[in-house]
Amino acid sequence: MNPRRRARPTPPAVGMAAGFLALAVGLSGCGWQGESAEEPAPAGSAATGSASTETPSPHAAITEALESELGKLADSNSLPNGEAVAAAFTAAGFPAGSVEVSADSTPTGLEVDSIQAAAVQDGDCIFGEVRDGSAYVTVLPVLSDGGCFVGN
């Protein structure tokens, strides 16, 4: 007679069991925790980190002007050329020669999805983009070479 051997778990089954155990332990802390340990700030007092105490961006005026100029451009042309985007930067107050502009077409001659431009302002890059009739502006750090676009 052959005695029956006890089945041993296979490595994948052991891994799945460990995964389910980790999931169960992780989810056990996701429930209601009772009252918060942090007391809310009394009415009328300024809480640290709230929107009311944040300092405005040093680029607020120029980014608003750029958003306005690029918005006008996007309203009149859903995908303007690079010259028009550079002109919008100049109209917003950037020096004419300081604006880097992306290509108007791909290397194979196809139309691009968006036109982007950027200029350095007080140690940061102010980027503007026109895509699908909408304008976007964002502030990013200057690259190590002092420019805003990689490869330019």
pLDDT in tens, the chain (152 residues): 555 544 444 444 444 444 444 444 344 444 444 444 444 344 333 444 444 456 567 788 899 999 999 999 999 988 899 999 999 999 999 998 899 999 989 999 999 999 999 999 989 999 999 999 999 999 999 999 999 988 75
> Residues 6 or more apart from 147 whose CB is under 8 A from it?
100, 120, 125
Q: Are 63 and 81 in contact (CB under 8 A)?
A: no
Cα(39)–Cα(26) distance, integer angstroms: 26
Biggest alpha carbon–alpha carbon distance for the chain? 95
Prediction pTM value: 0.61
Cα(24)–Cα(105) distance, integer angstroms: 52
> Residues 6 or more apart from 55 whose CB is under 8 A from it?
none
